[in-house]
Structure 1
Amino acid sequence: MQSRTSPSRGPGSPRVTGFYDEDTGSIQYVASDPDSRRAALIDVVMGFDHRHARTDTNAAEAILDHVEREGLEVEWILDTHPHADHLQASAWLRERLGVPNAIGAEVAEIAGLWRDIYNLPGAFHVEDEFDRLFADGERFTIGGLDVRVMLSPGHTLGSVTYVVGDDAAFVHDTFMQPDAGTSRADFPGGNAGVLYDSLQRILALPDETRLFVGHDYGTDTREEPAWESTVGEQRAHNIHLRGGVSRADYVALREARDRSLPLPDRMLHVLQMNLRAGRAPAPEADGRSYLRIPLNRF
């Protein structure tokens, strides 16, 4: 698994290692305080082969190996939102490490949408699956680093950005790399105008803030995955926003682009697990877990 480290810039600045999951184009992060060696795991992937409905822990185990090699102590397991294209490792990591897992408080609203889609009225009690449901503006720490939670909806109703220390923000499915633009906003509860507002809120951070994105798929001219930029670079060069694009023009561009995109190939499988922090549904009488797929819904 390809990885790359963005070093700390000094006091108040986290050391960040990103791990690229080639199967889904997802980036997983270890953000650590160099002084205390305390760390958070962000958006870690559980392997899921949708063709055979099989799970594995290979990516999560590789990240735990990195944590052990670096002598880090994990304090938090964080997700930015319930992911539609990969299975979350949150529940597995929580059980393995015995540390709290967390996500944004508005995920409860997302759960309500998907209870209806799956026709599972008694499912997805997110308050039982996550130890903390962070509200907009809430703060916590990773070692000696302050972390601020910033609600960043648009891709989903309840996406959050984690602003860590003085110069790092984990911006999930809002921005992509400047040469790739921004993330889609057409899933249930998504909204391109709301996403534009979230993008502008992130762009209000200091220019030198490092932005760590949730996905990269390369471009026609760039094969190697990349996942770090800065606020200043995004403002100047993002192909969907540079030049001061208006909200109306952005919405028209984003909605036209989204109409051309298929659903992620594992979305209907993984969301009913990710709203359980990546846990499979309770086993049935034969001891196996089963997923529910709505026909002709999308």
Structure 2
Amino acid sequence: MNNLGNENYKSGFISIIGRPNVGKSTFLNRVIGQKIAIMSDKPQTTRNKVQGVYTTDKAQFIFIDTPGIHKPKHKLGDFMIKVAQNTLKEVDLVLFMVNAQEGFGRGDEFIIEKLKEVNTPVFLVINKIDQIHPDELLPFIDEYRSRFDFDEIVPISALEGNNVERLLELITNYLPEGPQYYPADQVTDHPERFIVSELIREKALHLTREEVPHSIAVVIDKMERKENDVVHVMATIVVERDSQKGIIIGKQGKMLKEIGKRARIDIENLLGSKVFLELWVKVQKDWRNKLSQLRDFGFREDEY
């Protein structure tokens, strides 16, 4: 499909913003139809902007999934907040996503103050409506509507898919006429190496205890396709303390083996090939507060 010459074709950049753990990545993966943003029940999973591209015969949607806005505790946190705020200035439409189970919070107040500074159309997207009684929805909407003049208010369930098609229709109405920026079969602008590292990090997040997750980075040391079409991936999981290294490795290496086993399945689905995955664990003390190491691990402020 190529719509470069279609005068009525629409395209635009859409930022998904919201407090941590409201379901931004779940929504993005639902629309795109495959996993490009990692999901976790632990907040602040998303650290970089993830561009998801969804193409139809009428429009191309370029979604930017931003880190959840939260009070930063280290340089990595500062970076994540800047990424989220900067995208508001660059896009054609903002989706402010909230969790129907949570209600209005101080984090929402902070985001709304930022939204008042932009001229971009803003939708309120109320996610996880499958988790509440329908009678709770109207008071919830009134609470947010009293604080900001949203262009549209759309309740959805990203997990179940409820009302997601309707949301996409409404987004199309607001997008400007424009070219198809990406080929129709492209779903993200991130290289494979980035997504592979994120899939490994996701499995480590799912499987480890509370003190580990935000201290984890994953570096792809080597990724190459061999003659027999098997992709050989060598990756290092970086943590901040020796105790965390022990947790990631587990007794007799069982935890590391399980992380690798689960990650390999997702990586094979992504690449469409058999994967041989080798994982190591390395301690880098206090890496989240060291700018040089943040840059080494792909958190480059000058790119945003």
TM-score, length-normalised on structure 1? 0.30
TM-score, length-normalised on structure 2? 0.30
Instruction: Say which one has the larger Rg.
Output: 2
Structure with higher RCO (Cα < 8 A, 6+ apart): 2
